[in-house]
Amino acid sequence: MKKIKNIVFDFGGVLLDLDIERSFIELAMVLDMDTNDLQILVDKMMPYLSRYEKGEINSETFIWHVQKLSAKQVDPRELIEAWNAMLLGWNPVKLQQLEELSSKFNLYLFSNTNELHMQWVLKDLKLNHGITDFDQRFFKKAYYSYKVGKRKPDAETYQFILDNAGILGEESMFIDDTEQNAIAAGEAGFQAVHHPTNAGLEFLFEL
174-206 pLDDT, tens digit each: 999 999 999 999 999 999 999 999 999 999 998
pLDDT at 37 over 90: no
- Listed in order, the ranges of the chain carrying CATH 3.40.50.1000 are 6-16+90-206
What pLDDT is attached to residue 34?
Answer: 87
Judged by DSSP in three states, 89 sits in strand
CA 149 to each of CA 44, 45, 57, 111, 157: distance values in angstroms, whole numbers, following the listed order = 22, 19, 11, 11, 9
- Listed in order, the ranges of the chain carrying CATH 1.10.150 are 20-86
**pLDDT (mean) for 145-165:** 96
Judged by DSSP in three states, 23 sits in helix
- Cα separation, 82 vs 26, whole angstroms: 5
Which secondary-structure segment (H or E) carries 47? helix 38-53
- 188-203 as b/e, with b when 16 or more CB fall inside 10 Å? bbbbbbbbeebeebee
20-86 topology per CATH:
DNA polymerase; domain 1 (1.10.150)
Distance of CA 26 to the CA centre of its chain: 19
Alpha helices by DSSP H, 130-154: 134-138, 145-148
Answer for the pair 65, 76: CB distance below 8 angstroms, yes or no: no
Q: What is the pLDDT of residues 97-126, one digit of tens each?
A: 999 999 999 999 999 999 999 999 999 999
The domain 6-16+90-206: what is its CATH number?
3.40.50.1000
Whole-model pTM above 0.75? yes
What pLDDT is attached to residue 64?
Answer: 96
What pLDDT is attached to residue 1?
Answer: 58
